[in-house]
A and B are shown apart, each in its own frame.
Chain A
């Protein structure tokens, strides 16, 4: 993998934007699911759940039934999400303290958690809290969410800024949790994690499987 291969692959197709990655994931969330969204691209996901579909968003700082960003003149200064941004509470929403919030998370009550990551591996391992060089590791709630939610989806860019694959045979960074990721949405593809490795469900417009493989560390195959 190198910058020039990566650059040519990106130039030959139309990679999805951060918002499109979020929209791709939002489209696949069924009505009635309870979902926690992490910081980074995942925080955009609720914006793309169709308004007629009821999906209940949890924020680990004690909010169940979180709504969108408030109008500028209607901000509740006491109400923020995990990214420390102002949010709203939907009718039917509720507050809880941190031990109850993480009890809910760890206790297997969430249908889905959508997280960002540095790397995801074909065995479902992922890494999103520290690189080895990082002097200020920050785990937040990621390790609790990773083992608690019924499904973990990762939303991230397919490669680093230097063109290195983030979709790996094995993670090189310290793990957040082993073997938990079920699906990955990147700017180039949508991938399922199966017992036989990554299966490609969708490709960015104009991208071929061969070109995707050129910028991906792990072996890939198309879904039937």
Chain B
């Protein structure tokens, strides 16, 4: 006889379930540094789901024709915010950008990370010495602290974060693999809806609580995507 008790279970059974409710015009935070830690299966799921006119935040403007590059190639990205668009092979982005079909905002990498950290931590804005005295500080409020010029930066909130993890449990606790951690944990904290793909689903209690970079409170949906190793960089 059922007790009617519903356990927390963030693990969804299909990619369509994982992508439910993502709207046109969303701000989408996408984890990864180069192709490492980039949640390609979720990006393919988002393409299938159909949301467009997206603003994407990612460190690079991507390589080749897979993952984020494919999202751009099929015309779903209105604007990209990144620190380093000039990767070794940004073919898709370069063509769209030069044709004026995509907007680019370049942001210092640490400022990008900290603006999302601030969003997740309830800090609406902060001062940083990064970019003071440069073109990227133009139009921003500047104040001196401890003898250094500092630039006011606002928290950066995402509607959705798509991230890649190594292990996940049904509460959404996540671990990562080596340098694939990168932007994933901080993006997980900064979005209203965080969706993770994970190589391994483990039992509750199996993860060492001392070693959980992303506690489940930040994660809303988990999809099991056991794809093996990332493509060669």
Contacts and interface: CB of A to CB of B under 8 A. Distances in A.
A64 B183 CA distance: 16
B18 interface: no
A141 B229 contact: no
A97 B178 contact: no
Given A77-B232, A86-B233, A147-B130, A136 B94 contact: yes
A84 B106 contact: no
A99 B182 CA distance: 8
Query: Interface majority SS on A: helix, strand, loop or mixed?
Result: loop
B contact residues, range: 35 or more
Contacts of B230: 77-78
B113 interface: yes
Contacts of A161: none
Interface stretch (A54-62, A151-159, A191-199): A54-62
B111 interface: yes
Contacts of A97: 181-186, 213
B175 to A, nearest CB: 11
Contacts of A178: 132-134
A135 interface: yes
Interface stretch (A17-25, A169-177, A182-190, A203-211): A169-177
Contacts of B180: 78
Contacts, number: 142
Given A85-B233, A86-B233, A138 B179 contact: no
B5 interface: no
B39 to A, nearest CB: 14
B202 to A, nearest CB: 18
Interface string A110-148: 000000000000000000001000011111111110011
A84 B87 contact: yes
Nearest to B133: A178
Nearest to B230: A77
Contact of B178 (A95, A101, A144, A176): A95
Interface string B138-174: 0000000000100000000000000000000000000
B130 A138 contact: no
A89 interface: yes
Interface of B: 33-34, 36-37, 59, 83-88, 90, 94, 97-98, 104, 106-111, 113-114, 116-117, 128-136, 148, 176-186, 213, 229-230, 232-233
25 contacts: A61-B36, A76-B178, A78-B36, A78-B37, A79-B178, A84-B36, A84-B87, A89-B178, A98-B33, A98-B109, A98-B183, A102-B113, A102-B114, A136-B90, A137-B85, A137-B106, A138-B85, A138-B86, A139-B84, A139-B109, A143-B130, A144-B111, A175-B133, A176-B134, A177-B132
